A and B are shown apart, each in its own frame.
Chain A
């Protein structure tokens, strides 16, 4: 596409824009399409997450932005300038690698100084920035250590400081937390969010961990098989998943078949497992048969036979500490999981093998694109 970007002078240019970016690896029979005409716009000073299972193309997109790969078609723009063919060392973009890729022959401070020195910054400025970065990631006490002699979490911090030191316009993070244990990962999630706030740099974060994406991001792009399926804030992605893949990849979801009875504007009356329920229909979603997504925590359990509740038989209960999962088989055979928070005092009155009712909260049912 050669069409110029719509010029909107009132809003600042996006930090990174991908325009119909396609990437094909290999040739002929071995060719593999990693990205399929992906278009994205990432705003200035945004914590943006590329989320998807392995092989969905998220890391490829990150490497294209970094400059380690060139797009087979399409363009990548940084603040409106086409950077598709610039080598990595000419892009004001830095990367935190999954493997950290710290220089083993250099000390912590030397690692952090590396980018600044290559940019030809004066000595005093380099020393000054390195000091600030060490403070920022709380590594002052280890600045003269070799990077091979520090722990994984510390290496992670050094990798961050090294990438932040040259003050890139955009910081790319390639699954940086995946090598850390759970507790450290939680700490680093908060730490990353803090760093992004303090530095005001646009972060593009790649992960396959949906929880990580939901807690940290301003916006998320959910990817699958080289395509972007949905872009939106964490709430939007979670509450209004666009299609079946997004709904199942982010959080737990029940899928319920539904028939449209009548429509009135954007709303419709649906028959779900013999129960009549009102729901909003997003644009482009049409009946008569639909698939509805329903989050397990948006169900209330009731006695069997209650009007307006889905009817079924309780098959199993699984205790999770904070909540209990109720595995139900509805009368039409559809499996349903309801998640109920455990109250400290009340013991639930439902017995496995007995009939049960489950009432969806208002507007909890979400119609999906095919």
Chain B
């Protein structure tokens, strides 16, 4: 290796060096612009909105106010001015969290065997199975959600079939329930769980399973001690990919949940729309961001913790 520091750089070298530096800045410009205007910028605006007062009809009045943040958790009685916890908000937080966790769990329960199935097919069949998994992505989310609605509504396919078969004599109320939102979300996010698990399963050396059997491991031992630890990165990635958008889900709870199954995304939309309370909406948005960040940190830490058998 040459050691340029031992001698002075020639002007040509200087020029080449600064050209390189200029080029690297130039090359990063698109990414920097994107980050500034698409990520940090809007986030700062939202953050700023959460600390000002709401406007009369919409928008904000530019004066410092903690009202938005106050209303995230508390409500002031309009008659006697007493402060109490905002029960409606708390139940929406809880519903969002529980629905997202359940969605993650359900997609994991169905996604893991699916990924395992695909990864154990002969190599030239796998692209076909993966293709089948990705087909739902071809259709707009809204249309897919309405399709589910068509299936489970009172006059929908399921109820019609069950009624005609005489299994039930009144349509089952499936639509506009907690369950219907869960069903819709699990359906929508399932591919996001399957694909990363498949990616790590595909690299899994199935000869290790044989080695496990040879060393007296039962089927359950093999799953627990060999397959799961090795494909864990895929499970972690899939869970994050499902949990994060679930928490902010908007379309699915709106269409399949009706008015009673509002989630955080719907609450936020409400504040910016009919509620005309932009600071509260902004504060709720930031709250959602914080919940996601906390959940991720907690989850990744838990997933990376070494086995106690260590």
**A residues with CB within 8 A of B:** 66-68, 87-90, 93-95, 97, 99, 101-105, 110, 114-115, 118-119, 162-163, 166
A-B contact pairs, 16 of them (CB 8 A): A68-B210, A88-B213, A89-B215, A89-B217, A90-B216, A99-B205, A101-B205, A101-B208, A102-B211, A103-B208, A103-B211, A104-B208, A105-B229, A114-B215, A115-B215, A118-B218
Asked if A94 and B230 make an inter-chain contact with CB atoms under 8 angstroms apart, the answer reads: no
* Interface residue B207 (Cβ < 8 Å from any Cβ of A): yes
Complex interface: chain B residues within 8 A of A162 (CB): 215
Kindly report which residue of chain B lies nearest to residue A162, judged by CB atoms.
B215
Partner of B215, one of A87, A104, A166: A166
Render B216-230 as a binary contact track against A, CB cut-off 8 A, 1 for contact: 111001000110011
List 4 tightest A-B contacts by C-beta distance, closest first: A115-B215, A101-B211, A118-B216, A88-B213
Q: Is A89's CB under 8 angstroms from B211's CB? A: no
A89 touching B210 in the complex, CB below 8 Å, given contacts A105-B229, A105-B230, A118-B221: no
Q: Are A87 and B230 in contact (CB under 8 A)?
A: no
Find residues 180-215 in chain B having any chain A CB closer than 8 Å to their own CB: 205, 207-208, 210-215
Report the bound CA distance from A104 to B207 in whole Å: 12
Docked complex Cα distance between A94 and B210 (Å): 11
Closest residue of B by beta carbon distance from A114: B215
Residue of A88, A105, A110 touching B214 (CB-CB under 8 A):
A88
Given A101-B208, A118-B221, A94 and B226 contact (CB-CB distance below 8 Å): no
**With A99-B207, A103-B208, A118-B221 as contacts: A66 and B214 at CB distance below 8 Å:** yes
Per the bound structure, the CA–CA distance linking A315 and B96 in Å amounts to 89
The interface residues of chain B, by DSSP majority, are classed as helix
Give the docked Cα–Cα distance between A97 and B230 (Å). Answer: 19
With beta carbons under 8 angstroms apart, the residue of B207, B216, B229 that contacts A97 is B207
Summed over the interface, the residue pairs from A and B with CB atoms below 8 Å come to a total of 59
Q: Report the separation of the CA atoms of residues A148 and B211 in the bound assembly, to the nearest whole angstrom.
A: 16
Residues of the B chain whose Cβ atoms lie less than 8 Å from the Cβ of A93: 214
Cβ contact within 8 Å between B207 and A68:
no
Q: Is the CB of A118 within 8 A of B215?
A: yes
Collect the chain A residues with CB atoms within 8 Å of residue B214's CB.
66-68, 88-89, 93-95, 163
| Contact with A89, one of B207, B218, B225, B309 (Cβ below 8 angstroms) | B218
* Complex Cα–Cα for A235 and B212 (A): 38
- Inter-subunit contact B215/A94 (CB<8 Å): yes
Which residue of B211, B212, B216 contacts A119 across the interface (Cβ within 8 Å)?
B216
Docked complex Cα distance between A95 and B215 (Å):
8
In the complex, which residue of chain B has the Cβ closest to the Cβ of A88? B213
Question: Within the assembled complex, what's the spacing in Å between the Cα atoms of A92 and B210?
Answer: 15
**When chains A and B are docked, how far (Å) is the Cα of A90 from the Cα of B215?**
9
Name the distance in Å between B230's Cβ and chain A's nearest Cβ. Answer: 5
Q: Is the CB of B207 within 8 A of A101?
A: yes
Who on chain A is nearest to B209 by CB? Answer: A101
- B200 to nearest A CB, angstroms? 12
Residues of B within 8 A of A89 (CB): 213-218
A90 to B205, CA, bound (A): 23
Query: A118: which B residues are within 8 A, CB to CB?
Result: 215-218, 221
Residue of A at shortest CB range from B215? A115
**A163 and B214 alpha carbons, distance in the complex (Å):** 9
Residues of B within 8 A of A67 (CB): 213-214
Q: Which of chain B's residues 76-135 have a Cβ closer than 8 Å to chain A?
A: none
| Nearest chain A CB to B280 CB, angstrom units | 47
Docked Cα-Cα span, A7 to B226, in Å, equals 43
A residues within 8 A CB of B221? Answer: 118
Residues of B within 8 A of A166 (CB): 215-216
In the complex, which residues 256-310 of chain B have their Cβ closer than 8 Å to any Cβ of chain A?
Answer: 309
From B210, B216, B230, give the contact of A115 (CB < 8 A): B216
Contact partners of A97 in chain B: CB under 8 A:
207, 210-211
Given contacts A89-B218, A105-B229, A105-B230, contact A68 B213 (CB under 8 A): yes
CA–CA, A366 and B210, complex, Å: 44
A97-B210, A118-B215 given; 16 more Cβ-contact pairs under 8 Å: A68-B214, A87-B213, A88-B214, A89-B214, A94-B215, A95-B211, A97-B211, A101-B211, A102-B211, A103-B211, A103-B212, A103-B226, A115-B216, A118-B216, A118-B217, A166-B216
Q: Within the assembled complex, what's the spacing in Å between the Cα atoms of A187 and B232? A: 38
A11 CB to closest chain B CB (Å) equals 29
Contacts of B205 in A (CB 8 A): 99, 101
